[in-house]
Amino acid sequence: MTISYDVTGEGPAIVLLHSAVCDRRMWDEQWKALTEAGYRVVRLDFRGFGESPMADAAYSDAGDVLDLLDRLGVESAALVGSSYGGKVALEVAATRREAVTALALLAAGMPGHEHSAEARAFGAKEDELLEAGDVAGAVELNVAAWLGPEAGEEARALVREMQRNAFEVQLAATEFFRSSPEVDLGKITARCLVVTGAHDLADYREIAAALPERIAGPVRHVDLEWAGHLPSLERPAEVTDLLLDFLGGE
């Protein structure tokens, strides 16, 4: 196992999956609270993020999550995924549905989603900055795009640090081996909480609207009027309470 991870606590398992501008440190505020609430909490860095190196052979992030669960002896878990981590959570739940008890998706991506013109324009601008060697500019572009108005300086500094680290690790690689499994979302039977932010790109509200017809499990949608793309960093305590309420429900 080449990915870095943390495990703490006793009780039902929860796996925290980070966004593609962050790493497992984005869950620092939720990590302690979920442990104290009586859960066994797992968080990991996808390859090329945080303390996990880039891969040297074909892999998928969903496959890495499933391999980690097997290594830890976790037969079933609730998955909490932010943005890209939400997309991975959906892939895991569709691949091994009996292993996933619940899904909490925070501004989640979705397999097969076609990005809007706004999202494509952001990606093009990021590529332009990186190709020009302006890593600092690309970092600031991400900080401005993905954090809503409620985010404080501490959250902005952390996202800045996590995104810069991801760029430095990934830009140093000569090859990129990641793939996404083809999955049938209709196989997902776990109950699902979908959280969106009013200050986020419209793509993520479109995904939230599509999920009830794509998955078999019940879906509850909460739109946060104050939130951008990373609500768990913008108002950590409020999002922690939302997660605890959902995870403790039937």
229-248 pLDDT, tens digit each: 999 999 999 999 999 999 99
What's the whole-model pTM score?
0.97
Which stretches in the chain have pLDDT values below 50? none
Distance (Å, whole) CA 184 – CA 48: 27
Q: 3-class secondary structure for 120-143?
A: HHHHHHHHHHHHCCCHHHHHHHHH
What does the alpha-carbon distance between residue 212 and residue 219 come to, in Å, rounded to a whole number?
6
* pLDDT of the residue at 249: 76
Give the CA count within 13 Å in the CB-facing half-sphere of 32: 4
The per-residue pLDDT for range 54-74, each reduced to its tens digit, is 998 999 999 999 999 999 999
Query: Does an H or E element contain 207, and which?
Result: helix 202-214
| Per-residue confidence (pLDDT) for residue 40, from 0 to 100 | 98
- Name which of 227, 233, 234 is nearest 31 in CA terms: 233
Domain ranges of the chain: 5-247
Q: What amino acid occupies position 80? A: V
Fold of 5-247: Rossmann fold (3.40.50)
